Amino acid sequence: MTPGGGGPMKDCEYSQISTHSSSPMESPHKKKKIAARRKWEVFPGRNKFFCNGRIMMARQTGVFYLTLVLILVTSGLFFAFDCPYLAVKITPAIPVVGGILFFFVMGTLLRTSFSDPGVLPRATPDEAADLERQIGNAEDIANGTSSGGYRPPPRTREVIINGQTVKLKYCFTCKIFRPPRASHCSLCDNCVERFDHHCPWVGNCVGKRNYRFFYMFILSLSFLTVFIFAFVITHVILRSQQTGFLNALKDSPASVLEAVVCFFSVWSIVGLSGFHTYLISSNQTTNEDIKGSWSNKRGKENYNPYSYGNIITNCCAALCGPISPSLIDRRGFIQPDTPQPAAPTNGITMYGATQSQSNMVRGQRQHGEAACHHGQSLGPGFSQESWGRIYAAQAL
């Protein structure tokens, strides 16, 4: 999109209007006036965007608001009706610790809900056509010229990761071979990297880019729920020692509601935290665990190739590694149809694709790739390694 890269068509248009050569200062200014739309406005997945694309969520957010209301109301009642009594009778540290936990829970919840979970951009029409051609060639070779019977095209590819063969499935919606561990979320209609699951409680997919915040959310929420439950019970016991049990309940009716909410939610929250702690320690996703991808039942030589073989390294990889940048550049501007040089990567031939559309998405891709390389410079990441393998596999 450099001003000099106008191409022959633009030059031709200008030469008809005036004999002045288009100055490089003029043309980008003109372009900006026409193209004020951002990429999130034409995003193909089923997502909601707020704040001009800064916030990204799933389309259905009803259960997320329920989560918010439950946390806000229960914590609000605790701070309003239990904390004043407990601070005087026991220690003022109770509202302080509760407050810190509450803000941590809200911060990690909003970070999980409002961010890009690791959506993979869909293929441009050119890329899709090229891939179709490759698949077609592979099919021809497989069938041979003599055999007349029709076979479905091979829509899977295999890569070897740490000695384990991993199948890459073709996504008919996104028109890509999904990288290892990626999966298509049917609710959001996106392929998500290191897809864990779609969580309606946080109103977003949980994937590569927000998994650690999701884990910190459920872990801190476990602590907050146990904390509130324990001190609400303490509050009721202290009051009933003074005035009797029934009077204590009458004096602090909010405590009853808090205790009920905490009692019914604590089991599932603590259970979920334990389950994800197990997943993190063995470097698995919920998706892989449910499918039993690395289960011994599938064969003795079946093992999880992503595990580092050490619980501490697995935890560090999931919780402390660099966060890869978003690949969808949702706040970038849509570029108007500027003729672009053919993609230099693998000599893709042009098919009858809408020029403006393909340029728009290619812009995203190039941005994403650039960002990916940037991520690589930050530290060793698994994704770059695996992507390299996929590109190598696709070249075959």
Does 209 contact Zn ion by CB under 5 A?
A: no
State the nearest-atom distance from the C-beta of 47 to Zn ion, in Å. Answer: 9
Rounded Cα distance between 117 and 68, Å, is 20
Select from 94, 109, 168, 185 the one that contacts Zn ion (CB under 5 A): 185
Candidate segments 203-211, 232-240, 364-372, 385-393, binder of Zn ion by CB under 5 A = 203-211
Does 346 contact Zn ion by CB under 5 A?
A: no
Rounded Cα distance between 363 and 371, Å, is 12
Rounded Cα distance between 130 and 359, Å, is 16
Select from 191, 228, 279, 327 the one that contacts Zn ion (CB under 5 A): 191
Rounded Cα distance between 89 and 92, Å, is 9
The DSSP code for 296 is G
Select from 137, 173, 241, 346 the one that contacts Zn ion (CB under 5 A): 173
Rounded Cα distance between 190 and 242, Å, is 59
Does 129 contact Zn ion by CB under 5 A?
A: no
User: Within the chain, where are the H helices?
Assistant: 7-17, 26-34, 62-77, 83-89, 93-114, 125-143, 211-243, 245-251, 253-281, 286-291, 311-319, 355-378, 382-395
State the nearest-atom distance from the C-beta of 153 to Zn ion, in Å. Answer: 17
Tokens 């907050």 belong to 224
Does 243 contact Zn ion by CB under 5 A?
A: no
Nearer to Zn ion by Cβ, of 198 and 276: the residue is: 198
Select from 123, 171, 219, 280 the one that contacts Zn ion (CB under 5 A): 171
Does 206 contact Zn ion by CB under 5 A?
A: no
Nearer to Zn ion by Cβ, of 122 and 367: the residue is: 122
Going by C-beta distance under 8 Å and a sequence separation of 6 or more, which residues neighbour residue 342?
348, 350
Is residue 199 part of the annotated active site? The answer reads: yes
The DSSP code for 328 is S
Select from 105, 109, 199, 205 the one that contacts Zn ion (CB under 5 A): 205
Choosing from 199, 262, 316, 372, the catalytic residue is 199
State the nearest-atom distance from the C-beta of 185 to Zn ion, in Å. Answer: 3
State the nearest-atom distance from the C-beta of 337 to Zn ion, in Å. Answer: 26
Q: Is 88 exposed, middle or buried (0-12, 13-18, 19+ CB in 10 A)?
A: exposed
Select from 188, 199, 272, 280 the one that contacts Zn ion (CB under 5 A): 188
Select from 73, 135, 187, 343 the one that contacts Zn ion (CB under 5 A): 187
- Tell me the Ramachandran region of residue 12: left when phi exceeds 0, alpha when psi lies from -120 to 50, beta otherwise: alpha
Does 216 contact Zn ion by CB under 5 A?
A: no
Does 221 contact Zn ion by CB under 5 A?
A: no
Rounded Cα distance between 202 and 64, Å, is 5
By CB under 5 A, name the binding residues for Zn ion.
Answer: 171, 173-174, 184-185, 187-188, 191, 198, 205
Return the active site residues.
199
